[in-house]
């Protein structure tokens, strides 16, 4: 049966922004987001500004997975399960099942858990980040162990991505520096990026349940590293400015928020999600537990109108207004984000005539035990 989901401070230069579809390195204004303001609403159709590709993950007796997307390259899709069983599933870009790997264990060549997997296409290596042990275990596509990389002493890499062929860019969630660029070969430090802030602000909320036990609630869509074509958006939640970082190691102020997060109780944070030629998508999160749990507001900056809106994005491949959520974990410069479409929900929508086009064709061949369909959300070419 199918498993269900349960170094020196860098010089800061003047910002460069652009209009929709133009050069991404022109202009002279920093975007300002007032987190206390109630913005007007805007509705968008996803396919008007992004390309969409549906990948049906093949289902076999050995390839039944929970579709926790880890990494997508030009040739391979790598997913894991949410139940931390150590399984790693490798599909090709058409969704054909290729290999299943599991190196879960306590040995020197095994991973104790999986917090993130990065597929390094340039070097044909899988980099498995073991957050709890502050180590990166590196394997080939057959699951053969190659080497380990220790996190820098006093640091802990909660997120990491390919920066270039030889290096990773990592977020350090312990102390300054906030971001570190390290060698993929041995973990040596090539650059430390310091984003100044006064006091470290937690984004989680703690409360007690009915039994009196302390419970920590953490927002699921808080990403410190977000791809922006060939650049990176760097987010330190305790700072008031978001930065645009280039492959040439230029860091530019990009988005600022008012009032300062340091002055607010409860704090209101801005999380970044998707950056396109036309829109910057973000999320306003208030560090406060309500009757409905943690609540947030989706915002976008429209580069043509030079204005901020609350938004909803809909999928054209549905006959009704089916909302697309742009808050899945960031992937890469070509495919900045994705959405997982579970088979049972697609079958239900197919049976009542809600689906159109390619998505309708895919859903017609699904059954309830099928793996999910991955909707890749790609920059338009």
pLDDT tens, position by position, 175-195? 889 999 999 999 999 999 999
Task: State pTM to two decimals.
Answer: 0.90
Is the pLDDT reported for residue 147 higher than 50? yes
pLDDT of residue 231: 97
pLDDT of residue 24: 57
pLDDT of residue 101: 96
pLDDT of residue 381: 86
Q: Provide φ and ψ at 212, rounded to 5°.
A: 90, 5
Is the pLDDT reported for residue 149 higher than 90? yes
Is the pLDDT reported for residue 377 higher than 80? yes
Rounded CA-CA distance 368/278 in Å is 38
Q: Which of 17-21, 82-86, 106-110, 283-287 has the lowest mean pLDDT?
A: 17-21
pLDDT of residue 13: 39
Q: What percent of the chain has pLDDT over 70?
A: 93
pLDDT of residue 293: 84
Q: Average pLDDT of 209-227?
A: 91
Rounded CA-CA distance 218/38 in Å is 24
- Position with higher pLDDT, 28 vs 197: 197
For 4, 56, 63, 206, 230, the CA distances from 67, given in Å and listed in that order, are 9, 11, 10, 29, 27
Is the pLDDT reported for residue 327 higher than 80? yes
What mean pLDDT, rounded, does the chain reach?
92
Which CATH number does 31-198+215-379 carry?
2.40.128.630
Q: Provide φ and ψ at 379, rounded to 5°.
A: -65, 140
- Joined together, the tokens standing for residue 83 give 């139940």
């Amino acid at each position: 049966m199918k498993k269900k989901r349960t170094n020196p401070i860098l010089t800061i230069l003047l910002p460069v922004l652009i209009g929709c579809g133009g050069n991404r390195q022109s202009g002279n204004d920093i975007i300002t987001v007032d987190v206390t303001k109630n913005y007007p609403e805007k509705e968008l159709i996803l396919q008007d500004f992004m390309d969409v590709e549906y990948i049906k993950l093949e289902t076999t007796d050995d390839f039944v997975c929970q579709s926790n997307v880890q990494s997508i390259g030009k040739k391979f899709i790598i997913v894991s399960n949410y139940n931390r069983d150590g399984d790693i599933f490798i599909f090709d870009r058409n969704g054909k099942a290729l290999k299943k790997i599991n190196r879960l264990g306590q040995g020197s060549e095994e991973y104790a858990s999986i917090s993130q997997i990065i597929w390094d296409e340039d070097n044909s290596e899988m980099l498995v980040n073991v957050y709890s042990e502050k180590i990166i275990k590196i394997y080939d596509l057959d699951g053969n162990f190659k080497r380990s990389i220790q996190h820098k002493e006093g640091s802990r890499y909660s997120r990491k991505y390919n920066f270039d062929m030889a290096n990773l860019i990592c977020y350090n969630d312990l102390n300054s520096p906030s971001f570190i660029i390290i060698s993929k070969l041995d973990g040596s430090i090539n650059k430390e990026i310091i984003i100044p802030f006064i006091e470290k602000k937690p984004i989680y909320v703690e409360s007690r349940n009915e039994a009196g036990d302390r419970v920590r609630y953490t927002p699921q869509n808080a990403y410190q590293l977000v791809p922006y074509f060939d650049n990176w958006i760097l987010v330190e939640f305790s700072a008031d400015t978001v930065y645009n970082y280039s492959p040439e190691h230029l860091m530019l102020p990009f988005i600022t928020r008012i009032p300062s997060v340091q002055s607010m109780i409860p704090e209101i944070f801005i999380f970044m999600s998707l950056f396109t030629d036309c829109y910057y998508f973000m999320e306003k999160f208030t560090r406060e537990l309500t009757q409905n749990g943690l609540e947030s507001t989706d915002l976008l900056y429209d580069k043509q109108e030079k204005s901020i809106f609350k938004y909803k994005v809909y999928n054209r491949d549905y006959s009704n207004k089916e909302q697309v959520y742009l808050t899945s974990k960031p992937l890469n410069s070509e495919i900045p984000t994705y959405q997982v479409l579970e088979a049972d929900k697609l079958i239900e929508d197919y049976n009542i005539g809600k689906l159109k086009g390619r998505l309708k064709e895919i859903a017609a061949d699904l059954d309830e035990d099928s793996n999910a369909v991955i909707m890749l959300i790609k920059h338009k070419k």
